[in-house]
Amino acid sequence: MARTQGSHSDITGPRVRTAALKLFAQHGFAAVSMRQIAREVGVQAGALYNYTPDKQSLLFDLMNTHMGELLASRADLPDDATPLQALETFTRFHIRFHSERPEEVFIAYMELRNLSEDNFARIEGLRRTYEDQLEVILRAGMAEGVFHVADPKLATMAVIAMLTGVNTWFREGGRLSLEEVEQIYWDMVRKSVGA
């Protein structure tokens, strides 16, 4: 029995997530019903509850998966990487990862208000972990005298906002390739921390 249930869930899970992601991004969490999500997946509303207890869990699952993938996708750097190399790797990774997931990024920012208190705290924790990784890089560069930053916490927030902003305007097939955008943003990030 457990095996059957598991298999069922393995197939339905990603389809439910994809449907919820699409509908939340299109209409907003509060405007979407479990019935609409079921219709999008192509199952009865009741069947959806085999996969998820409620819409809140679905929203948390989407954001948690997104943040988990973000943290898991960061490439390991060689032990002798300099802070400048670490910052360049972070910059290019952040742009690429987020540009591939416009709907996840949109929801991660927009639907924080709809998370329950506990779920919000967990997502905030993951977000803080990611921000801390950049702050550690900036502090290492400051300690070595290669970065000149007045406040590493603010510089962390500034760099992340600048990079995530690419999502608001970048379109494949536009004037610049993502490679070129990465290069130009890396140049600005480097300068902004005084390196």
Interacting residues toward a copy of itself by CB under 8 A: 26-31, 109-110, 113, 148, 150-151, 154-155, 157-162, 164-166, 168-169, 176, 181, 183-185, 187-189, 191-194
For 88, the 3-state DSSP assignment is helix
**Residue 53: how many other CB atoms lie within 10 Å:** 9
Of 119 and 156, the one with the shorter C-beta distance to a copy of itself is 156
CA distances from 170 to 24, 56, 98, 120 (A): 22, 31, 11, 29
CA distance 41 to 159: 38
Of 41 and 189, the one with the shorter C-beta distance to a copy of itself is 189
**Minimal distance in Å, beta carbon 129 to a copy of itself?**
16
The amino acid at 89: T
Of 46 and 173, the one with the shorter C-beta distance to a copy of itself is 173
Quick check: 59 and 66 in contact, CB under 8 A?
A: no
**Minimal distance in Å, beta carbon 122 to a copy of itself?**
18
**Minimal distance in Å, beta carbon 15 to a copy of itself?**
23
**Minimal distance in Å, beta carbon 56 to a copy of itself?**
15
Of 5 and 187, the one with the shorter C-beta distance to a copy of itself is 187
The tokens of 32 are what?
């979407």
